[in-house]
Amino acid sequence: MPEPQRVAPVTVRDLVRLSAAGRRLVAVTAYTAPEARLCDAAGVDVILVGDSLGNAVLGLADTLGVTMDDMVRHTRAVAGAAQRALVVADLPFLSYQTGIADAVRNGGRLLQAGASAVKLEGGSAYVPTVEALGHAGIPVIGHLGFTPQSVRRLGGPRVQGRESGSAEELRRDAAALAAAGVGAIVLEMVPGPLAQAVTAEVSVPTIGIGAGPDCSGQILVLYDLVGLSPRLPHFARSYGDAGAEIGRAVERYAEDVRAGRFPGPEHTHDGRRWGEPHPPGRDAPS
């Protein structure tokens, strides 16, 4: 039997190379092994184990309650399932703001869990942290604009960089992060012209979300794009309705159980090993 073809995993350096070659980068969040398997098979370049885990999966109001243990567990699940995509894991709130040693220790934990890079939120103030992570062999992705871990200070999910002063600051932050060695910069909720200017100025790709069409790539929260989020942000687009599909499947299952149509005799455990085909003459489960 021929060996299954293994594909070379995307690296942080590849992001710069692919982007310089004119390829728009495709990134998506994922939190579990099945999600990672599907996104990887769909050919995305980057899978982010985002701390949006808090809102998307854990039912929290924001990302502030997400812990390192949460991130390690979900990073392990995603990294174990993704074969080609670059797996980036978010450093959660208070895992790096408290000091450089904490950042390196926690970044290292995420790499040990299988991530190939970590993402942190913030600008020039985090240059020493980005450099220390780099020295420790931990590639970093930056995140500017609306930074959800600062939601209390920012007063909600608001567009950042509207005024000339804050736009200038964001441009300086992007240049400082690029010089410090980040592999890419996520720009979240930034006016389109500002995102376009930053993308033209910095030496690393930008990955936009709510930042218009002129970034080097795009990221969406998986649940927004597959129709599993209760509310779709205006800057996202839904490409499917997995929520409706799951609801219909569970309804049909409930109807079958209540009507005695499932399980049938063929669904009795008969000593076959997991995954073995059904013996001839017996119906496969529908």
Residues in contact with ligand KIV by CB under 6 A are 29, 48, 50-52, 90, 186, 188, 209, 219, 221
How far apart, in whole angstroms, are the C-alpha atoms of residue 242 and residue 106? 34
Residue 262 is given by DSSP the state S
Task: Please identify which of the residues 3, 131, 163, 188 carries the catalytic annotation.
Answer: 188
Is residue 188 part of the annotated active site? The answer reads: yes
**Minimum gap (Å) between residue 115 Cβ and ligand KIV:** 13
Nearer to ligand KIV, 234 or 273 (CB): 234
In whole angstroms, how close is the CB of 209 to ligand KIV at the nearest point? 5
Q: Quick one: 32 or 262, whose CB is closer to ligand KIV?
A: 32
The two tokens of residue 186 are: 């996520």
Can you tell me whether residue 206 is helix, strand or coil?
A: strand
Amino acid at 266: E
- Shortest gap between Cβ of 148 and ligand KIV (angstroms)? 7
**E strands within 68-116?**
86-90
**Is the peptide bond between 285 and the residue preceding it cis, with omega within 30 degrees of 0?**
no
Q: Decide whether 28 or 197 has the Cβ nearer to ligand KIV.
A: 28
* Contact yes or no for 15/23 (Cβ under 8 A): no
> C-beta of 238: minimal distance to ligand KIV in Å?
16
Least CB distance from residue 226 to ligand KIV, whole Å? Answer: 14
**Residue closer to ligand KIV (CB basis): 49 or 132:** 49
User: CA separation (Å) from 99 to 102, 106, 130, 151, 221?
Assistant: 5, 11, 12, 20, 29
Query: ∠ CA 76-78-83 to the nearest 5 degrees?
Result: 110
Which residue, 52 or 106, has its beta carbon nearer to ligand KIV?
52
What residues contact residue 249 under an 8 Å CB cut-off, 6+ apart? none
- Catalytic residue numbers, as ranges: 188
